[in-house]
Amino acid sequence: MSERESSAGVSDAQLYGWRQRIRDIDSDVTALALEREKLERLVSMMELVASEARLLDNATGPSGQHPKFLHQTLESISPREKFPKAVLAIVDRIEDGATYEDVRGAILNSPLAGRFRSSDKGFYHALARLKARGELVEHKGHVFTPRNLEVFRRKVAAGLKKEKIPESAEGGSPIMDTALGVVARHPGIIAKDVVAKIAEELTLRNEGSAYNAIARLKQRGRIEGFGRLDRQLRIGPNAPEEYKRIASSGVVISLPKRTEAPSGRAAGASEVGPLFGSPQK
């Protein structure tokens, strides 16, 4: 008995075979989708492993600052670059955290060195603005990008890196800490009076060491000058928060105003400024 055919001339067997093939294709599509999903997971895992391997390789380097790559970063900075962008690029490259001296040294080795030597205020205010915006974060006296700090903490937890030690605890000068405290408590004070107050608290071999400490604090933006000839001192934008809090409750010292100098111009006059420096807008 022959197979029954439809009015279109297709047998039941052929129709069954086509339907079975559709089911096979659907099954293959499902299997392929599952295989694709598995492969995508494997690719993602291997990319993560490769990324972590690069981080671990960097972590075992001697400095964690990648001098070759930092040099390339400095070469890419334009002489007309704005300080915030340059500072962010430098800190991002120094993955294991940079001190302010590290960043300052990098700037002095970059095409921005001339502008920095003319005036360093733009540099220090750039640091302060980046921290205020959360693009840079401070950790134990070092500055990081948020991503680099997260990676650094993982390295420390894994025993691949040692935790940072705050500057004042790694051989930093007690004179500098004392100077910061004096300026925070007496915003508007002049350097000569700061040195006198340091001498009341510490034994100074010579006053020069105290003046040098003040100069270094100014270089780092932790204190800054204001008023006429920048003689008066106040806490700078890069000072630790504890000193800013002390300064915020202080009263600015006003220098006596001299109405006439031998040249005929006003001399010694000073305007009362804010209690501590803040980023320029």
Domain membership of residue 21 (yes or no) is no
**Is 4 among the domain residues?**
no
Let me know whether 164 and 189 are in one domain: no
According to the model, what pLDDT value does residue 183 have? Answer: 93
Whichever domain contains 106, its CATH number is 1.10.10
pLDDT tens track for 231-278: 899 998 878 877 888 887 766 666 665 444 444 444 443 444 555 555
**Does residue 40 belong to any structural domain of this protein?**
no
Looking at 118, 140, 168, the residue that finishes a domain is 168
User: Over the stretch 146-179, which tens digit does the pLDDT of each residue have?
Assistant: 999 999 998 888 888 888 876 554 445 788 889 9
Domain count, the chain: 2
Least confident of 1-10, 76-85, 103-112, 242-251: 1-10
Q: Which residues are CB-contacts of 103 (< 8 A; sequence separation ≥ 6)? A: 87, 90, 91, 94, 127, 143
Q: 177 and 271, same structural domain?
A: yes
CB neighbour class for 109 (10 Å; exposed up to 12, middle 13-18, buried from 19): middle
Give per-residue pLDDT as tens, 46-70.
877 777 666 655 544 444 445 446 6
The predicted structure's pLDDT at residue 144: 93
Domain carrying residue 149: 67-168
One domain for residues 183 and 159: no
In a domain, 49, yes or no: no
Give pLDDT, residue 53.
Answer: 64
pLDDT at 279: 47
| Residue after which a domain boundary falls, among 116, 148, 168 | 168
| CA pair distance 230, 277, nearest whole angstrom | 13
Last residue of a domain, one of 122, 150, 168: 168
* Side chain identity at residue 11, one-letter code: S
The structure's pTM equals 0.48
